[in-house]
Structure 1
Amino acid sequence: MSLSSRVAAAFAVDRRVLALAFARMADGVGNSFLIVVIPLYVVSDVVGGATFGLAEAMIIGIILSLFGFLNSICQPVTGRLSDRAGKRKLFILVGLGGLTVTNLAYVFAESYASLVLIRGLQGVSVAFIVPTSIALVNELATTRDRGGNMGVYNTFRLIGFGAGPVAAGAVVNAGPYALPVAGGATISGFDAAFYVAAVTAALSYLLVTVLITDPEATQASAGDDLAIAIRDPSGRNLLDPTFTLGVATLFMATGIALFATIQPQVNERLAQGATWFGLQFAAFVIAQILLQTPIGRACDRYGRRPFIVAGMVLLVPTTLVQGFVLTSETMFAARLLQGVAGAMVFAPSLALAGDLAGEGESGTKLSVLTMAFGFGIAIGPLTSGALVGYGFHVPFVFGAALAAAGFVLVYTQIEETLESPAAGPVPGTTND
């Protein structure tokens, strides 16, 4: 047995899923680098040009939000096209190639307009990666181990996403860097960060090229009728289950992203500094990293629906309480428990949607959830910014109401897809 197969067996996943997880971890580091670096770059002396009457803060908001909106809008299109082509690997490589080139392009960007253009192209590039990666994981898994595969994939992706911002500030602040091979030439901290992002994307491209292959079933059976239904075609419920999961995911993502843009208000209310806010912001990601895999495996044994329902229930108080806590420690605890709720919803939802996807339609079906999550992450900060002026608690009351609505939808419209919950996967098996 090869080393990659032994490592995959230890995680109880297909070795190609593990390879894809490591590849997404690598590009996640580079992509999340830019969340910290771009705002610093915009306000630096390097960037200039026409501002079109907009303040720098608004330009930063546009650049960051444009990525999310374009990424989410394009995902159903790229997911559907990859279903029709039956070539997941090709679409992933196109996206990673685009990320590599655009990360390098920042080195030469010196105007606000060029930053907007580059970040927009990055949003489109990532839209080639996300739905096709999830579809590939889905097709390499089976009903007995789909949740575990989704959990492992998401765990490593989140590790990369969480590590990037931690390192980004240090890379920028430690510049400029001397290049001993270039006769004493130096590069700025910003350029170094962009090079790091480009290298991680290129590394991800290399891993996918060498280690990933399309499943034979995808190559042979890409479907023609890939429309997403809103009404339940079986007639048992009012709404289609995949559409319902998408709406619940949108509500969940909006609620967890409310925290992102109100740092001044949070710090003032809790009489804390930026370090505490960073810990509170990271608490959600920490919970996701720790719990995605075990919850994914548990939902293979006990069923998808119980975890999704329980997660939506837990999301209501953990979102609401953030509007009323008065200490830094309790805010951290609330964010951590909110992360537990998110972990209970996300991997089981992907597994359930994957169970429902027919051959050749994983990209289309699962893009509903990934698109909804992306829209929620983009909408949440805008919502909290608009509502916090009416009172600190108002954004969180709104988020809790969305979570409650999501619970009602999931409880009434979603049915279990495992035929025999508690049977579970055979420990240590893979799909090689």
Structure 2
Amino acid sequence: MPAKKIFPYENKMLILLTFTFGFVLFDRMALNFLVPFFDKELGLNNTQIGLLASLLALAWAISGYAIGTLSDKTGKRKQYLIISVAIFSACSFISGLAASFAFLLVARIIMGFSEGPVLPLAHSIMVSASAEKRRGFNMGFMQSFGSNLLGTMLAPVILVALATNYGWRNAFFIAGVPGLILATLGFFMIKEIPVFVKEKKQKANVADLFKYRNVWVAIILSGCMMTWMFAQITFMPKFLIAIKHFSEEDMGKTMAAYGLGSIIWGAVVPALSDKLGRKPVVIFFFLMSMIMPLSVVYAGDTFSAVAPLVILGATTMGCFPIVLATIPSETVPRQFLAQTLGMIMGIGELIGGFAAPAIAGWSADKFGLQAPFLIAAGAVLLAGFIGFLLIETGPVKLRNKGALATIQTV
């Protein structure tokens, strides 16, 4: 009996899904950290580097919405999740076989199609497994902790070390192994979520979802956040080595500092939003995160000068789960949640994941490698102003105001 209380199904899902999404980001970000090791071998320019990130994001956006919607209708979230995890893990291995830009591009596009559904499916499973009092914490922790620990803090250190000692191809091969293990564990551990007849009859089209103001505001904020993230992360390793003249080791440590900041703010920002409200917290920390891209460009040329400011300015990473999961889950009916999350993330990916790296890559070739970082700073400046359009959903703030649980629409 005590064992059941200590480690119930809710906690099992929290751990499993946290590491599952963590390795999604680990594999996705591997390309960025390994670019300095293979760009010359494959003859890549900045525009092509941007396209590798952009087209993966386009595939991610399409599949995230499509599979999220399909899973809401069929209830087969476990099945889709396991298949997705297995495929993206295989694509990491395939990336290590690349001998040309075209081959690598195809591998990353397939990876994008398989990774896109993971987060909306994982959130839907986590919501159903969570007690109401832990729902916000579980969703924030699941999205932020594993992805920041594995995708942004440990990935640069591990992958750079592997590439330095064993070659970039072996780094890609090894990166795919954990996902296959997690897919196997998920097959045995996840309980399929039943779809009730009443919920099956209800349908939400895109127009219905856009009636909720928080949905379309979250879409804009999602695009801004992802622009901030991918415009700079795609080019930061190359910028640090080519412009700042960092060693590969210091580049890896600087990227790890970004991961450390992401972990810290990934815990602090959602916790503050529980106490102070979602809206004021995301506005403040959006604006604060301008520090990171500007410090990369304008701070000194040493690790000790750049890394502390990168940690301080990684605050948008704490806003991700609030905007992409918590606010939508407090806004729309649960039977439409995976579809809504898939749409918010999908359109955000189109803006910030697809368009931003391509534009940033072109800008880097045209105006210099500092351009992507200025684009990133502008994106979160815009997000800070757009955040004023949010309708507050924080339970504490609503109780203090005596508000109804139902969130207003447009």
* TM-score, scaled to structure 1: 0.76
Count of aligned pairs: 392
Q: How does 1:268-287 map to 2 (within 5 A)?
A: 270=244, 272-287=246-261
Letter matched to residue 396 of structure 2: S
Pair 1:15 & 2:12 matched: yes
Aligned to 1:158: 148
Q: Which residue of 2 aligns with 1:184?
A: none
SS at match of 1:68: helix
| Structure 2 runs not aligned, ≥5 long | 401-410
How has the CA–CA distance of structure 1 residues 14 and 300 changed in structure 2, closer, same or farther, with 3 Å as cutoff? farther
Q: C-alpha offsets along residues 160-180 of structure 1, whole Å, 9 cap, x if unaligned?
A: 2232332234334444xxxxx
Are residue 416 (structure 1) and residue 404 (structure 2) matched?
A: no
CA distance in 2, matches of 1:299, 1:218: 32
Assess if the C-alpha contact under 8 Å between 1:31 and 1:197 holds in 2.
no
Greater CA drift, 363-372 or 316-325: 316-325
CA drift of 1:423 comes to 7.7
Asked if 1:303 is matched to 2:277, the reply is yes
Aligned residue among 63, 74, 84 for 1:85: 74
Does the C-alpha gap of structure 1 residues 215 and 300 become closer, same or farther in structure 2, counting only changes over 3 Å? farther
Q: After TM superposition, give the deviation of residue 133 of structure 1 in Å.
A: 1.5
Give how far 1:205 is off: 0.4
CA apart distance, 1:92: 0.4
- 3-state secondary structure, aligned to 1:56: coil
- How far apart, in 2, do the equivalents of 1:116 and 1:268 lie? 24
**1:204 alignment partner AA:** L
Post-superposition Cα deviations, 1:78-127, rounded to whole Å, max 9, x if no partner, equal 11111111221111012022124434445766555443332221111112
Q: Could you say if the C-alpha distance between residues 387 and 104 of structure 1 is closer, same or farther in structure 2, counting changes exceeding 3 Å? A: closer
Q: Return the structure number with greater helix share.
A: 2
Contact 1:168 1:193 (C-alpha < 8 Å) held by counterparts = yes
Between the two proteins, what is the percent identity of the paired residues? 17
- Residues 27 and 219 of structure 1: is their aligned pair in 2 closer, same or farther, counting only changes over 3 Å? farther
Aligned partner of 2:382: which letter? A
**Counterpart of 1:183?**
none
Q: Is the 8 A contact 1:287 1:340 kept in 2?
A: yes
Q: Which residue of 1 aligns with 2:326?
A: 351
1:320-331 equivalences under 5 Å are: 320=294, 322-328=296-302, 329-331=304-306
Match of 2:159, as an amino acid? Answer: A
> Is the Cα contact below 8 Å between 1:4 and 1:15 reproduced in 2?
no
2:6 alignment partner in structure 1 = 6
The question of 1:227 aligning with 2:205 is answered yes
Residue identity matched to 2:62: I
Which structure has the larger Rg over C-alpha atoms?
1
Please tell me whether residue 201 in structure 1 is matched to residue 179 in structure 2.
Answer: yes
Q: Higher mean Cα deviation, 222-231 or 81-90?
A: 222-231
The residue identity in structure 2 corresponding to 1:205 is A
- Per-residue CA deviations over 1:307-333 (Å, capped at 9, x if unaligned) read 222222323455555544345444323
CA distance, structure 2, for counterparts of residue 289 and residue 414 of structure 1? 25
Q: CA deviation at 1:34?
A: 5.0
- The residue type equivalent to 2:257 in the other structure is A
Judged with a 3 Å threshold, the aligned counterparts in structure 2 of structure 1 residues 38 and 89 are, in CA distance, closer, same or farther, namely farther
| Aligned Cα root-mean-square deviation (Å) | 3.6
8 Å Cα contact 1:353-1:365 kept in structure 2: yes
Kindly tell me: are residues 419 and 118 of structure 1, through their superposed partners in 2, closer, same or farther at Cα, counting changes over 3 Å?
Answer: closer
Work out which of the residue numbers 367, 373, 376 in structure 2 matches 1:399: 376
Matches within 5 A, 1:23-38: 23-26=20-23, 28-36=25-33
Separation in 2, partners of 1:223, 1:138: 21
Deviations 1:209-268 (A, max 9, x none): 12212344678734642223499636xxxxx21121121121122123333326565556
